[in-house]
Structure 1
Amino acid sequence: MGSAAAPPPDRPKYALPERERRWLVAPSTAAALVAGPPTRIRDHYLEPGRLRLRCAVSSTGATVHKLGKKYGDRPAGAESITNLYLTAAEFDLLAALPGWVVDKQRYRVGPGALDRYGDGDDAAWIFELDFEDAAAAAACPHPAFADREVTGDPLWTGAALARRFGRRQPAAPAADGLSGAGRLV
């Protein structure tokens, strides 16, 4: 009782480094960038901890379910991340756990992704780029269409956006055809 938690390992055995940079994009600018249908994503940030349950449905209807963990470390600008791909039944089992659930739309913009959280004037648009190494991430110029960079800002993490734009689990089925905290239907 009262003992501090052990620090996360430098690099967990099966984790990969994720190097990403993120920028806010003004809604009027974002609207001009999007083309084609988005991938619909439901993220469920499980509490307590750093686990994220994700259901992604492409414009063709292909669905991916996965459980991911970001370890919170950022050595050399990279964060350790692991993903485990799930069956629909495994996903449904985990979706009953408490946490924050948020829906977003992801559009492909050049080599990156533009995510929209929320609707209307309150929507937040975030452009994200992933990099193979720290040098490439550091050398990347600020995209001309982007506003300020929010990489590493705790107010703009996925979990923080879930608290701002999402809902607390458990949730009742929604009238828009999205079932509670579970899969997108």
Structure 2
Amino acid sequence: MPTPDHDDGSQDRAGKYALVERERRFLMAGPPPASSVREVRRITDRYLTGTRLRLRRVDRAAPVRTEFKLTQKVPAARPGPVQGTITNTYLSRAEYDVFATLPALVLTKTRLSVPPLGFDVFDPPLHGLVLAEAEFGTDEETAAFEPPADIVAEVTADPRFTGGRLVRAGRADLVSWLGDYGIDLVPDDGGP
């Protein structure tokens, strides 16, 4: 990242290959009914230390396949539906393995697809957290979206519920944050 004394020119090129990322996130009391789920994916995100880069592995069960990608996310100046810009590079397994040797914080979750939403069910220490998100191509689509009736709260503008923040959160953080929205979790239930 450039410092005031050193500019590597990246600010001039910011966004050249990036797409605007628009999404809305919703805090849910629990996962959707299994009968409504169209696809299940296991996601392992490695947030590379000291960077804005995320290394992602996505395992799909049907058909069985694994996808690897490196993502740069440049956050927007303020929280909201326009998350910032995102640039994805799809990787081979060998390329992924090289990046996976770098220091990183790891976040794992199961994504349940119930179009137009993806429900993320998080692994420990964030077990009990279920977020639903919808992505959009335009500002108009973003504004027009009607959230599901069974949401606890919209957390689009709450930076605590972004992947980059969740990866640094402990169980006590999550218990406190969900308590702010009226969801009571056991501080450490010894769950899986």
Q: Does 1:3 align with 2:4?
A: yes
Give unpaired runs (5+ residues) of structure 1: 167-185
Greater per-residue strand proportion: 2
SS in 1 for 2:154: coil
Q: Does 1:12 align with 2:27?
A: no
1:118 positional shift = 2.1
For residues 28-177 of structure 1, what are the structure 2 equivalents within 5 Å? 30-32=31-33, 35=37, 38-59=40-61, 60-73=63-76, 77=82, 79-118=84-123, 122-164=127-169
CA distance, structure 2, for counterparts of residue 98 and residue 116 of structure 1? 25
Bigger mean CA offset, 10-19 vs 135-144: 10-19
37 and 165 in structure 1: CA distance in 2 versus 1, 3 angstrom threshold: farther
Across the aligned residues of Structure 1 and Structure 2, the Cα RMSD in angstroms comes to 2.8
Deviations 1:62-89 (Å, cap 9, x if unpaired)?
1110000111126982521100011111
TM-score (norm 2): 0.74
- Any conservation in 2 of the 1:22–1:150 contact (CA below 8 Å)? yes
Q: Which amino acid aligns with 1:48?
A: G
CA distance, structure 2, for counterparts of residue 152 and residue 32 of structure 1? 27
Between the aligned residues of both structures, percent identity stands at 35
CA distance, structure 1, for counterparts of residue 166 and residue 147 of structure 2? 22
Runs of 4+ in 1 over 4 A off after TM superposition: 4-11
Bigger mean CA offset, 46-55 vs 73-82: 73-82
1:157 positional shift = 0.6
CA distance, structure 2, for counterparts of residue 133 and residue 21 of structure 1? 12
TM-score (norm 1): 0.77
State how many pairs are aligned.
163
Give unpaired runs (5+ residues) of structure 2: 172-192
